[in-house]
């Protein structure tokens, strides 16, 4: 409770770090802040060219199928990989001045979250402009999914940012883990493909479904690609998992943060 | 925690592991276990003190004694192995200035970022923005990116932010080395103002004169424990005596020369509690004369006073500063100056000689005044400090109040 109050007092620091990260990233570039939109748009064009001209996938409008899952995935993976180094990157601050250390993972996760929101502006523009269309009722569930994902990302970011201070290899390990994790989550393929392949292995299917990112990514796709109301049962499970991850993350962080200044 | 206290520190202990050759990657940790040998260094071995609200204390001690560690523990950058720290109110530290400055952003934007790191909200920063800009004297440059600033401008901006946080407790580590002499004086006055407004201050400094001017109490930390604690005027000399006995260099030669002086029937400095310093150059006598040239200790208000300092240097010393400080007998600091302030050049002293300071008028009210004399290096290292070398009484037939007598005249219509 005391910690929450203190973090609230430091809200301006969180806000200014988020601003610094978003504005600092493209500072000096001619197009500046516009890159936040341009970057996802150009990626989408590349995927469209590759998958509708060169590698035809068996899924209709595959570039949209892929893209509505890829944008939230990028948020998750950058919270994981970038997040693991977010305390190292700010070591000058940590070594020399007091502030609640939780500010750093919170600011990093929030900045990548805002980045995802900006990419979604492009996603929506594409959905409308191409005539693919959206289901407004299903879209009402989008914020819930996003918050669940934010909670999971924050927990992950806290655990790995704190561990990286003690074991520097964590940054490199997380880069590989994030890549492997991407292939274990239905980002580039659909849930049906897995269900088909694992039809005779119910145990493996259960394990598969415990991956917290699976129901999340599926929910994004259900809302935006299939234009359906997402399966709230899975979302509830993901939220539960997210809260558990967040509590563990906070506990690990609290334990490790006392030694930050000495380890850096 | 007692309500009148701002800081309570109980039995603080802290040790660091000093690795001989530290490996931080997984491979190094597993394969080269020998490399992970370390030595445990006990920096603090049980320190306890209390600071009252509105009090200013100075932590002194030689390098590595644990004073900066104590300050870091107070800022909560690091945590103690055992013992507790309790603090009441918002804490700001002038330890690392300009934390979080982004070179590509403007001075104004950086004020917001930097102040936010001190825990200020947007509203609070808005309210202070003009004060901060005015204090930094960067009005014309405030919207330029910080990378275009000179290092002096950068520090001025950083200091301006830190000092305008309005903390309840201010922690300071060797700050007054910011900017040019004018800005330093300004910082110093601001520190006094902050202290006057009731802020609790903890300063770590080697510049004992700064501590004496701001602090109510000095704490001398030695080898991780508190060696002495009390009024700066009482504790600082003990520390200086210790430091000059440690300073090897010419210590032996100087000691021999001074011992020879004493043997010749001269004055034995070492036995005088009010004298300390390394002794390369010493004051052999200090006297004062009135305008008739008589050697007296009683003056009338506004009379002239010539002070004569006789010195003796063991060898040619090129970096001396001759200074004096006047205190009233209740220890209020009345006046202080030195040759560095007045001429901005160190003085060269060789062999025997005399320095004379002519004071045209003593604008003092009735009372007893004590004068300290000091020969020191520009960085504050004492060659010879003579506490209360002169005591003079000033009489003032007019019954004016206060320390000084202002030249004045009434006009009543």
Contacts of A20 in chain B (CB under 8 A): 102, 105, 113
Helix (H, G, I), strand (E, B) or coil at B307: strand
* Mean pLDDT of all residues in A79-89: 87
Average pLDDT of A58-73?
84
Q: What is the pLDDT of residues B204-247, one digit of tens each?
A: 887 777 788 888 899 988 888 888 888 888 888 778 777 766 65
**B333 backbone φψ class: left, alpha, beta (φ>0; ψ -120 to 50):** beta
CB contact under 8 Å between A98 and B77, yes or no, is yes
B284 pLDDT higher than 90: no
Q: Assign A107 a pLDDT band (cuts: 50, 70, 90).
A: very high
Lowest mean pLDDT segment, chosen from A18-32, A109-123, A172-186, B5-19: A18-32
Q: Which residue has the higher pLDDT, A53 or B168?
A: B168
A12, A96, A167: residue with CB nearest B121: A12
pLDDT(B248) > 80: no
Q: Which of A11, A97, A257, A258 to mutate to test the interface with B (most CBs of B within 10 A)?
A: A97
What is the number of CB-based contacts under 8 A between chain A and chain B? 76
- B 122-151 near A (Cβ less than 8 A): 122, 125
CA-based nearest distance A95→chain B, Å: 7
**How high does pLDDT run on average in chain B?**
82
The yes-or-no verdict on residue B202 having pLDDT over 60 is yes
What is the distance between the alpha carbons of residues B67 and B14, in angstroms, rounded to a whole number? 12
Question: Between vectors from CA A96 to CA B22 and to CA B19, what angle results, nearest 5°?
Answer: 15
What is the model's pLDDT at position B332?
A: 84
Average pLDDT of span B39-64 = 87
Q: What is the pLDDT of residues B88-138, one digit of tens each?
A: 888 887 776 767 777 878 888 888 888 888 888 888 899 989 988 988 888
What percentage of chain A reaches a pLDDT higher than 70?
98
- Indicate the range of A127-141, B65-79, B270-284 predicted with least confidence: B270-284
The fraction of chain B above a pLDDT of 70, given in percent, is 86
Q: What is the mean pLDDT of residues B168-196?
A: 78
- Bigger pLDDT: A190 or B263? A190
Q: Which residues of chain A are within 8 Å of residue B78 when distances are taken between CB atoms?
A: 258, 261-262
Crossing angle of helices A142-166 and A170-184, rounded to 10°:
150
pLDDT digits 0-9 by tens, B374-412: 998 887 788 888 888 889 988 888 778 888 888 888 999
Q: Are B211 and B59 in contact (CB under 8 A)?
A: no
Q: Is B336 or B2 the better-scoring residue by pLDDT? A: B336
pLDDT of residue B273: 73
Residue A169: closest CA among chain B residues belongs to which residue? Answer: B25
Give the closest of A20, A24, A95 to B77, CB-based: A95
CA-wise closest residue to A97 among A10, A2, A3: A10
In this prediction, residue B258 has a pLDDT band, given cuts at 50, 70 and 90, of low
pLDDT digits (tens, 9 = 90+) for A210-233: 788 888 888 898 888 888 888 888
Confidence category of residue B192, pLDDT binned at 50, 70, 90: confident
The pLDDT mean for chain A works out to 85
- Return the minimum-mean-pLDDT range out of A48-52, A146-150, B124-128: A48-52
C-beta of residue B43 within 8 angstroms of C-beta of residue B205: no
The CATH number that domain B1-89+207-246 falls under is: 3.40.50.300
Domain ranges of chain B: 1-89+207-246, 249-395
Rounded Cα gap, residues B95 and B112, in angstroms: 19
CB pair distance less than 8 Å for B25 and A169: yes
Alpha carbons B233 and A222: distance in angstroms, whole number: 77
Burial (CB count <10 Å: 0-12, 13-18, 19+), residue B8: middle
ipTM above 0.85, yes or no: no
Q: What is the pLDDT of residue B264?
A: 57
Task: Provide mean pLDDT across the span B16-33.
Answer: 66
CB B49 within 8 A of CB B226: yes
Residue B164's pLDDT is: 85
Rounded to a whole number of angstroms, the distance from the CA of B235 to the nearest CA of chain A is 29
A86 and A105 Cβ atoms separated by less than 8 Å:
yes
What DSSP assignment string belongs to B344-366?
A: SSPEEE-SEEEEEEEES---B-S
To the nearest whole Å, the CA of B183 is away from the closest chain A CA by 24
Average pLDDT value for residue range B169-187: 74
Distance, CA of B234 to CA of B240 (rounded, Å)? 11
Distance (Å) from the C-alpha of residue A212 to the closest C-alpha of chain B?
28
Q: B26, A28: Cβ pair inside 8 Å?
A: no
Range of weakest confidence among A185-189, B83-87, B184-188? B184-188
What pLDDT is stored for residue B223 in this prediction? 84
Touching check for B410 and chain A: CB below 8 Å?
no
Q: Do B119 and A99 touch (CB under 8 A)?
A: yes
Residue B36 banded pLDDT, cuts 50, 70, 90: low
CATH number listed for the domain at residues B249-395: 2.70.50.60
* pLDDT (0 to 100) of residue B369: 92
pLDDT of residue B246: 64
Chain B residues touching A27 at Cβ < 8 A: 104-105
Structural domain boundaries of chain A? Answer: 11-263
């Amino acid at each position: 409770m005391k910690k929450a109050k203190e973090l609230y007092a430091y809200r301006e620091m969180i806000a200014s770090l988020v601003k610094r990260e978003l504005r600092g990233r493209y500072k000096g570039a001619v197009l500046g802040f516009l890159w936040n939109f341009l970057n996802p748009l150009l990626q989408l064009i590349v995927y469209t060219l590759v998958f509708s001209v060169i590698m035809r996938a068996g899924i209709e409008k595959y570039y949209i199928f892929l893209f509505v899952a890829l944008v939230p995935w990028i948020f998750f993976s950058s919270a994981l990989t970038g997040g693991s180094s977010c305390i190292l990157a700010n070591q000058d601050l940590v070594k020399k001045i007091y502030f609640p250390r939780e500010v750093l993972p919170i600011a990093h996760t929030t900045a990548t979250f805002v980045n995802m929101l900006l990419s979604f502006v492009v996603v929506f523009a594409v959905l409308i402009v191409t005539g693919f269309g959206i289901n407004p009722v299903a879209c009402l569930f989008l914020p819930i999914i996003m918050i669940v994902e934010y909670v999971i990302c924050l927990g992950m970011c806290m655990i790995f940012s704190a561990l990286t201070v003690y074991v520097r290899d964590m940054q490199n390990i997380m880069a590989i883990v994030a890549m492997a994790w991407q292939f274990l989550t239905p980002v580039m393929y659909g849930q049906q493909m897995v269900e088909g392949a694992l039809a005779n292995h119910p145990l493996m299917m259960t394990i598969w479904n415990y991956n917290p990112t699976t129901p999340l990514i599926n929910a994004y796709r259900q809302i935006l690609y299939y234009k359906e109301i997402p399966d709230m049962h899975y979302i509830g499970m993901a939220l539960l998992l997210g809260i558990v991850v967040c509590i563990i993350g906070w506990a690990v962080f609290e334990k490790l943060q006392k030694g930050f200044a000495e380890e850096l | 925690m007692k309500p009148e206290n701002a800081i309570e520190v109980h039995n603080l202990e802290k040790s660091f592991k000093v690795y001989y050759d530290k490996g931080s990657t997984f491979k190094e940790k597993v394969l080269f276990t020998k490399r992970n040998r370390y030595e445990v260094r006990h920096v603090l071995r049980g320190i306890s003190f209390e600071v009252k609200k509105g009090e200013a204390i100075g932590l002194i001690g030689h390098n590595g004694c644990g004073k900066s560690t104590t300050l870091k523990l107070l800022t909560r950058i690091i945590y103690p192995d055992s013992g507790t720290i309790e603090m009441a109110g918002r804490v700001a530290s002038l330890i690392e200035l300009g934390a979080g400055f982004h070179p590509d952003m403007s001075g104004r934007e950086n004020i917001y970022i930097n102040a936010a790191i001190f825990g200020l909200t947007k509203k609070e920063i808005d309210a202070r923005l003009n004060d901060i800009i005015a204090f930094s004297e960067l009005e014309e440059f405030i919207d330029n990116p910080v990378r275009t600033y000179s290092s002096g401008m950068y520090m001025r901006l950083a200091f301006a932010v830190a000092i305008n946080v309005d903390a309840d407790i201010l922690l300071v580590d060797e700050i007054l080395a910011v900017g040019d002499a004018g800005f330093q004086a300004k910082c110093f006055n601001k520190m006094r103002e902050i202290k006057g407004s009731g802020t609790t201050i903890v300063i770590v400094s080697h510049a004992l004169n700064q501590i004496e001017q701001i602090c109510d109490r000095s704490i001398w930390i030695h080898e991780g424990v508190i060696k002495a604690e009390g009024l700066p005027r009482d504790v600082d000399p003990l520390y200086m005596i210790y430091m000059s006995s440690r300073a090897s260099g010419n210590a032996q030669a100087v000691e021999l020369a001074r011992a020879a002086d004493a043997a010749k029937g001269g004055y034995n400095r070492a036995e005088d509690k009010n004298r300390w310093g390394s002794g390369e150059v010493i004051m052999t006598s200090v006297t004062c004369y009135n305008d008739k040239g008589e050697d007296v200790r009683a003056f009338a208000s506004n009379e002239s006073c010539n002070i004569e300092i006789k010195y003796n240097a063991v060898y040619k010393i090129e970096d001396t500063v001759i200074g004096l400080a006047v205190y009233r007998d209740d220890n209020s600091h009345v006046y202080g100056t030195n040759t560095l302030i007045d001429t901005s050049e160190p003085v060269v002293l060789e062999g025997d000689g005399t320095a004379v300071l002519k004071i045209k008028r003593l604008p003092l009210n009735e009372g007893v005044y004590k004068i300290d004399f000091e020969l020191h290096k520009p960085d504050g290292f004492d060659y010879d400090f003579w506490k209360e070398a002169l005591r003079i009484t000033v009489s003032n037939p007019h019954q004016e109040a206060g320390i000084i007598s202002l030249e004045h005249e009434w006009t009543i219509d």
